[in-house]
């Protein structure tokens, strides 16, 4: 092996040149060199038969993990659930989720409470959990909403955790004072 040439690895195989070009442009905009290897019928009688061919997306080995993180490929599968034959949508996921909410409003005992914990980034769907103690009577919904009627006075400290579909997590320590 020539040590002057980088070793390229396949990070994705897609159907069609257009799909490969979209991914290539995303990666190159992030400074990652990309090589496309086509296995297709190609041009036949002046007609491009694009969707019949597989295109391998290769990057230098040292960029492989970064490339996989930058481009998350989501396939919309066919009726049989075969994702490889579906239409492709790409979404750039630069970072995991970040909890934006840093404080919550106070509440009064036996009064309705409804506050959404806001996040940015990450890739849906998200799952939420709480460690510590929410005020009795309050709970957190699966969509990150603290809801209910607190039944006890005091200051309640807890931590919320959100996990995105890629397994990235974010936490935030919060408190609610119930008067």
What is the CA 177 to chain-centroid distance, rounded? 33
**Residue range(s) of every CATH 2.60.40.10 domain in the chain:** 98-178
What are residue 33's phi and psi, to 5 degrees?
A: -65, 140
pLDDT in tens, 99-112: 999 999 999 999 99
| pLDDT of the residue at 99 | 94
User: Taking all residues of the chain, what is their mean pLDDT, rounded to a whole number?
Assistant: 78
What are residue 115's phi and psi, to 5 degrees?
A: -135, 130
CATH number, span 98-178 = 2.60.40.10
Q: What does the block give as tokens for 37? A: 């290897």
Place 39 in a pLDDT band, splitting at 50, 70 and 90.
Answer: low
What are residue 72's phi and psi, to 5 degrees?
A: -105, 120
Three-state secondary structure of 62-74:
HHHHHHHHHEEEE
Residue the block writes with tokens 């092996």: 1
| pLDDT of the residue at 164 | 84
Question: Could you give the CA distance from residue 126 to residue 123 in angstroms, rounded to a whole number?
Answer: 7
Instruction: Give 8-92's CATH code, choosing from 1.10.10, 1.20.58, 3.30.70, 3.30.980.
Output: 3.30.70
Looking at per-residue confidence, does 131 or 4 come out higher?
131
Residue the block writes with tokens 């995991």: 96
Mean pLDDT: which of 31-40, 44-53, 78-87, 150-159 is highest? 150-159
**Residue range(s) of every CATH 3.30.70 domain in the chain:** 8-92
* 8 A C-beta contact, residue 57 and residue 23: yes
* 8 A C-beta contact, residue 159 and residue 171: yes
What is the CA 81 to chain-centroid distance, rounded? 21
* 8 A C-beta contact, residue 88 and residue 24: no
- Put simply, whether the predicted model's pTM sits higher than 0.95 gets the answer no
Whole-angstrom Cα Rg for the chain? 24
């Amino acid at each position: 092996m020539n040590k002057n040439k980088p070793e390229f690895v396949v990070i994705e195989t897609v159907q069609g040149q257009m799909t490969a070009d979209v991914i290539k442009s995303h990666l190159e905009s992030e400074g990652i060199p990309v090589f496309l290897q086509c296995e297709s019928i190609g041009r036949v009688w002046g007609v491009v038969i694009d969707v019949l061919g597989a295109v391998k997306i290769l990057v230098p080995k040292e960029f492989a993990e970064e490339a996989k993180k930058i481009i998350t490929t989501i396939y919309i599968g066919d009726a049989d659930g075969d994702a490889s034959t579906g239409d492709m949508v790409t979404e750039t996921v630069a970072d995991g989720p970040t909890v934006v909410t840093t404080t919550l409003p106070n509440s009064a005992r036996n009064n309705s409470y409804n506050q959404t914990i806001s996040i940015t980034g990450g890739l849906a769907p998200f799952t939420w959990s709480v460690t510590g103690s929410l005020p009795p009577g309050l709970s957190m919904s699966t969509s990150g909403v603290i809801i209910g009627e607190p039944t006890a006075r005091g200051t309640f400290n807890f931590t919320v955790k959100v996990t995105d579909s890629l397994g990235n997590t974010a936490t935030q320590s919060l408190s609610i004072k119930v008067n």
